[in-house]
Amino acid sequence: MSPRHTIGIKMNRYDILKGVELKKSLCGHCGEMKPEVKRRRLCTAYVEEESNLVESCFECYIERNDYWIERWMDYYCAAL
Ligand SMILES: [Zn+2]
């Protein structure tokens, strides 16, 4: 790992901490004020790109993405 890479990681950590302290937004999924409410891409394959995006807190995103990963697993297992 280069020194430059290490600095990059440290700066990212600082930015994350700063964001957690300052910004809390209402998550439309759990209905709570949470830091890091933003749009993220799910592992879905909808034709319209909009449908692959979800705006939520990090926990809800993980939960939803896990749900889709399971659906994909079902899909691939059924196809075998
Ligand atoms: Zn949430």
| Residue boundaries of the structural domains of the chain | 3-79
**Nearest residue to 30 via CA among 73, 64, 71, 53:** 64
CA 3 – ligand 1 centroid, Å? 36
Distance from the first to the final alpha carbon of the chain = 41
How high is the pLDDT of residue 79?
81
pTM of this structure: 0.64
CA 25 – ligand 1 centroid, Å? 10
How high is the pLDDT of residue 26?
93
By the 8 A CB rule, do 26 and 33 touch?
Answer: yes
CA 57 – ligand 1 centroid, Å? 4
- Cα angle: 36, vertex 40, 73; to 5 degrees: 125
| Range from 1-5, 30-34, 43-47, 69-73 carrying the lowest mean pLDDT | 1-5
Quick check: helix, strand or coil at residue 27?
coil
CA 38 – ligand 1 centroid, Å? 10
- Digit-coded pLDDT (tens) for 20-29: 556 789 999 9
**Nearest residue to 54 via CA among 41, 69, 67, 66:** 41
- Digit-coded pLDDT (tens) for 8-62: 556 566 666 665 556 789 999 999 999 889 999 999 999 999 999 999 999 999 9
CA 63 – ligand 1 centroid, Å? 9
CA 52 – ligand 1 centroid, Å? 17
